[in-house]
Amino acid sequence: MTRERLISLDVFRGLTILLMTIVNNPGDWGNVYAPLLHSEWHGCTPTDLVFPFFIFIMGVAVPLAMPTKTWDNTTFNKIMVRSLRMLGLGIFFNYFGKIQLFGLEGIPLLIGRLIITVAVGYALMGNFSSKIKNILAFSILFIYLFLAYSGIEAYHDVRLPGVLQRIAIVYFVVSLLYLKTTQKTQIITGITLLLSYWAIMTLIPVPGIGAPNLEKETNLASWLDGVLLEGHMYRGTITWDPEGVLSTIPSIVNGIIGLLIGQILQRGITPKQKAVKMIAAGVALIIGGLIWNAFFPINKSLWTSSYVLYTTGLATACLAFLYYMIDIAAYKKGIKLFLIWGVNPMIVFFFSQIIPQALVMVQFKNPHHPEEQINLLTYLYQFGIAPFFSNPMTASLAGALIYVGIWTFILWIFYKNKLIFKV
């Protein structure tokens, strides 16, 4: 069986990472249109679809990248190394703003951090031999863990979980499931994980608190994060982490469902039959998620089982539509933008996390208020974008779109020169 590359999957990936870039980079976090924010707790906004869509797309890509299902030490090593490299990149995002070098401050410190960023990026995305990749990935992860638990003040509260870390774990599990199990086993595994997570979260009392509940500070997932990740959680929540330990379990099912859809795309049936099966699966998953929502509310932070079904249902339906339009009907007008974004997601993900942090480090006197300091990111927005808009939310969105435009130009250069960065 030859490897099948789906243009529709690249386009879907591009759409997803483009949306991610928009929602993660508003000009002003205090003025953002509601659909571009995460739900406060229960519920689901368009922004809440980005992460599960990424995991789903990754799951779909697994069988397409390994159509022969060859299991050997070489294949296992590739899967493990890729997972470790993603872990390393993800954790580095959390370290960037905490790196201290010989007492340096301001621009000299920023330059030092950027040099380290380039070095880490090259080590974890460079094309080396398998042995060197292993050594580099393990060494970098060891350094992260040593610094986090060494007692060094600068790193005592560095966050360890994150988006790319969760994707790495799901990729590892889903890849092994694909290579070592049947589709029936994969389905049973997915159902078991969702039901088990529902039972754990709704039936098991929370130690030191009492009855099981789904409130922010007192649910079981929050308690477990506090036990296992104390001091190393997301600073915006402090007592729990949106990519915490327990909620990673159901996220694996997003990858499993993507894996099952990827295997539908491999079947020896007509493309139209594949599209119909995907639409049917998508509708069934959406309905299942909405029904389960009545008992186990759709919640991105808790990554509830209903959230898994609902988001993978939407992802499946979106992919089915794109598959029909692009790969079956051959309608390809206007897709170049999303292709450009879709074939190079890792470089965007990596540097779009770093660049805003770097710009914030550049501090100088506010020319309009000399007694105040202002960072470069805020200055560019307040004096280069905001004055042109009467609505602050529109101005904030414009800031994000300008950032997208800059990245589009960079990615177009990469695309034109066939430069693709992978882990």
Q: 127 falls in which pLDDT band (50, 70, 90)?
A: confident
Q: Strand 363-366 and strand 369-375: pairing?
A: antiparallel
Task: Specify the DSSP class assigned to residue 205.
Answer: P
**Which residues is 44 bridged to in the sheet?**
none
Sequence-distant (6+) residues with CB within 8 A of 77 are: 130, 134
Residues 6+ apart with CB under 8 A from 349: 17, 20, 89, 164
Q: How far is CA 86 from CA 25, 98, 225, 332, in A?
A: 22, 20, 21, 32
Q: Which two tokens stand for residue 310?
A: 């609902």
- 291-297's contacts with Cβ under 8 Å and 24+ in sequence apart are 292/198, 295/198, 295/202, 296/198, 296/201, 296/202, 297/42, 297/43, 297/214
**Element (DSSP H or E) covering residue 365:** strand 363-366
- 387 and 421, same domain (yes or no): yes
Q: Which of 293, 330, 339 is nearest to 313 (CA)?
A: 293
pLDDT(203) > 50: yes
From residue 338, alpha-carbon distances to 61, 317, 330 in Å are 17, 18, 16
Q: Which of 330, 346, 361 delimits the end of a domain?
A: 330
Q: What is the percent of the chain with per-residue pLDDT over 70, rounded to a whole number?
A: 98
Q: Say yes or no: 295 and 341 in one domain.
A: no
Give CA–CA dist 206/196, Å, rounded. 16
Instruction: Decide which of 262, 296, 330 is a domain's last residue.
Output: 330
pLDDT higher than 80, residue 33? yes
Q: Kindly state the average pLDDT of the residues 170-189.
A: 97
Which segments of 160-303 does DSSP mark as H helices, in order? 163-180, 183-203, 220-228, 248-264, 271-293
**How many folded domains does the chain comprise?**
2
Distance of alpha carbon 66 from alpha carbon 175, whole angstroms: 9
Residues 9 and 101 in one domain: no
Is 280 in the same domain as 297? yes
The per-residue pLDDT for 71 is: 86
Report yes or no: 118 and 129 within 8 Å, Cβ to Cβ.
no
Rg of the chain in Å (alpha carbons): 22
Q: Does 323 share its domain with 335?
A: no
Lowest mean pLDDT among 268-277, 343-352, 386-395, 405-414: 343-352
Each residue's pLDDT tens digit, 307-354: 999 999 999 999 999 999 999 999 888 899 999 999 999 888 888 888
Residue-wise pLDDT tens digits, 233-280: 887 666 788 999 999 999 999 999 999 999 999 988 999 999 999 999
Report pLDDT for 2. Answer: 47
Query: Domain range holding 1?
Result: 1-37+331-423
Query: For residue 39, with 0-12 CB atoms within 10 Å meaning exposed, 13-18 middle and 19 or more buried, which class applies?
Result: middle
Which residue is listed with tokens 């030092």?
112
What pLDDT is stored for residue 3 in this prediction? 57
Q: Is 106 left (phi over 0), alpha (psi -120 to 50) or beta?
A: left
Last residue within a domain, chosen from 289, 309, 330: 330
Residues 205 and 87 in one domain: yes
pTM over 0.85: yes
Residue 45 lies in a domain: no
Cα separations in angstroms, 77 against 3, 123, 234: 20, 17, 31
